[in-house]
Structure 1
Amino acid sequence: MMVRMPAALRDRIKAAADANGRSQNSELIATLSAAYPADAPDSLELLEDFETAMRQGRALVKAIEPTSRTFAELLAQNMHLLSVVAREAGVDLDNPRIEVKSAAQRDEG
């Protein structure tokens, strides 16, 4: 089926397809299916939705992996620095004690 449409509409469909990680054809089918729902979901449609979700999930994991690795490295570095500062301050890291004082107690001491 050939469909003529304004270029601006085609651009919006392309943008939506890119954002949803699917082809323009799949985007049109998803949009039309939502506008004209069947009584029960089609198993092929459910499979396509599942595949789209899996692609998006894999892309997300791939995108955050370097950030997670960098965060873990920074956390390790900062934990090392914290332990150095704590030792210099005389804090026993094997048996840390944290005392909570009220403002009045802090003013007295």
Structure 2
Amino acid sequence: MGKAPKTPNEELDKFLLRMPDGLRERIKAAAEMNNRSMNAEIVTTLEGAYPRPISLEEVVSDVRTSIEMLKKFKGKTLLMSLADDLDHLILDISRSAEMTPEEREAAKEHAYNHGKFTRFVPPDD
């Protein structure tokens, strides 16, 4: 006889973790404050620290959406939002596993040196 089908919970990756004294209690307190389980608290924290890589298709879609919005609504606020999006885009691309360490550093340096369109002064609304 074969094995019974796995439940969705059994298909998830499991990881045994040793924590320093006091960390478990801090995680538990944070989880209670956020109304979630300790597992959910840990996963949420890890997801924030290690975001999933974005695909080039997602990047292109986000940039196209921002450009379309900019065409419809002109003004400093939207322009600054677009600048923020592009800064984040460059940093997201710099996290790509397909990039060499040199390319990653160049992308980060570009974002820090040219972020917020530093050479461009937007018109007042």
- TM-score bracket relative to the smaller structure: 0.3 to 0.5
TM-score (norm 1): 0.35
Point out the structure with the larger helix share. Answer: 1
Return the structure number with greater relative CO, CA threshold 8 A, min gap 6.
2
